[in-house]
Amino acid sequence: MKLGFNMPQLTAFASQRAVHEFAVRADQLGYDSLWVQDHLLYPEQPIQSHPVHQAVLGPDKLVQWPEAYESLLSPLESLAYVAGITQNIRVGTSVLVFGYHRPAALAKQIATIDLLSGGRFDLGIGIGWAREEYAQMDSPFEKLGARCSDFIRALRAAWKQNPTQYDGPFYTIPRGSTSPKPIQQDAQGNPSVPILGGFLSEAGLSRVAELCDAWHPAGHTVELAVTRMQQINQIAKERFDRGPLQLVQRVFAAPALPNIEKIGDQLMQPSWTGTPDEMLPHLKECKEAGIDEVVIDTSFFREMESEDDWIAQPDFFKPLLDEAHR
């Protein structure tokens, strides 16, 4: 099983030194991947709460977003930097919100990082939840599932061999050259990067089955993640003659959000806390269940008080890496 991290990106302690030393050390130790997420701003007066707060407190209770979001490094620029200072570790988005981007421009950015990193980029993509951020990009906050599916199709079209062209219900790319191309390939041999769908609804699971290479849930129990992965693979095989897809599970280590086992209709995995030895049973459960990769997210650590708190993490979690690779 593979093991990755959400890299230093959130909080004011995600400095150049923290990013550099964290990434280089993770690469030296043999971790498999580093990941970032996607937010644009931190409103003083939000018009909606974080989805977890909505589920816990109700949709009408307005509370401030988690403080960790107040400072967040730009995702693709951060990954380009990390790819340039590492040799083997993969870099990816967990997740990139499609509505903050445009297909042709994003296709070029991703292809560039994939090319310059030697084929080490993974694209996790999702719909997001913040109306304020959609408004900043003049993106409609409606028909998000259909728009996201069209966006993914446009990306894949832009990465095919030139000349490329795409005419969809929401996005178009005129006939011409869209280069460079990723150096990785999809199952049909077309230039592409692995696409991980961070979707949770029933329609979202079908979107993963049709258009993605892996499913990337966050905070699910192992049982629920595996059950839904089986559902995705069944849909992929029966409806689209493809698969099996991979399961890349994001888990939270000591998050500042409440440690709640049930949030709305989504069963949430309790956060991993304590020493590495105390966390090992969680990792072994994932491994025994056949999860392909676990991504540890420590971005919401209450104890994150310095750059050194970030930098120490690759060594702190090394026993889990040893078990994952055993």
Instruction: Provide φ and ψ at 277, rounded to 5°.
Output: -60, -35
d(CA 216, CA 95) in angstroms, rounded, equals 9
pLDDT at 259 (0 to 100): 43
User: How much of the chain exceeds pLDDT 70, in percent?
Assistant: 92
Residue holding tokens 């689209």? 240
Q: Is the pLDDT of residue 19 over 80?
A: yes
Outline where 202-243 has alpha helix (H).
202-211, 222-240
pLDDT at 52 (0 to 100): 66
d(CA 3, CA 279) in angstroms, rounded, equals 13
Domains in the chain and their CATH numbers?
2-325 (3.20.20.30)
Nearest to 304, CA basis, from 9, 29, 28: 9
- Given pLDDT bands bounded at 50, 70 and 90, which one contains residue 251? very high
pLDDT at 278 (0 to 100): 87
Region 93-112: mean pLDDT is: 98
Lowest mean pLDDT among 99-103, 123-127, 227-231, 256-260: 256-260
Lowest mean pLDDT among 157-171, 196-210, 271-285: 271-285
pLDDT at 195 (0 to 100): 98
pLDDT at 53 (0 to 100): 66
pLDDT at 223 (0 to 100): 94
Decide: 67 and 51 in contact? Cβ < 8 Å. no
User: 260-310 pLDDT, tens per residue?
Assistant: 344 333 434 457 888 889 899 999 999 999 999 999 998 876 567 889 989
User: 39-68 pLDDT, tens per residue?
Assistant: 999 888 888 877 766 766 677 778 778 788
Please give the structure tokens belonging to residue 15: 């400095």
pLDDT at 264 (0 to 100): 39
CA dihedral sign of residues 212, 205, 207, 69: negative
List own/partner pairs for 21-28 with CB under 8 A and 24 or more apart: 21/311, 22/310, 22/311, 22/313, 22/314, 23/82, 23/85, 23/86, 23/89, 24/85, 24/86, 25/311, 25/314, 25/315, 26/86, 26/89, 26/314, 27/86, 27/87, 27/88, 27/89
* Between 54 and 165, the higher pLDDT residue: 165
Region 10-19: mean pLDDT is: 93
Region 197-216: mean pLDDT is: 97
Lowest mean pLDDT among 37-41, 43-47, 75-79, 137-141: 43-47
d(CA 224, CA 244) in angstroms, rounded, equals 18
Q: Is the pLDDT of residue 226 over 70?
A: yes
pLDDT at 320 (0 to 100): 97
pLDDT at 192 (0 to 100): 98
Q: Is the pLDDT of residue 177 over 50?
A: yes
pLDDT at 305 (0 to 100): 80
Q: Is the pLDDT of residue 178 over 50?
A: yes
pLDDT at 252 (0 to 100): 87
User: Which residues face 249 on adjacent strands?
Assistant: 294
Residue holding tokens 């280590």? 253
* Between 187 and 182, the higher pLDDT residue: 182
Instruction: Give the chain's mean pLDDT.
Output: 91
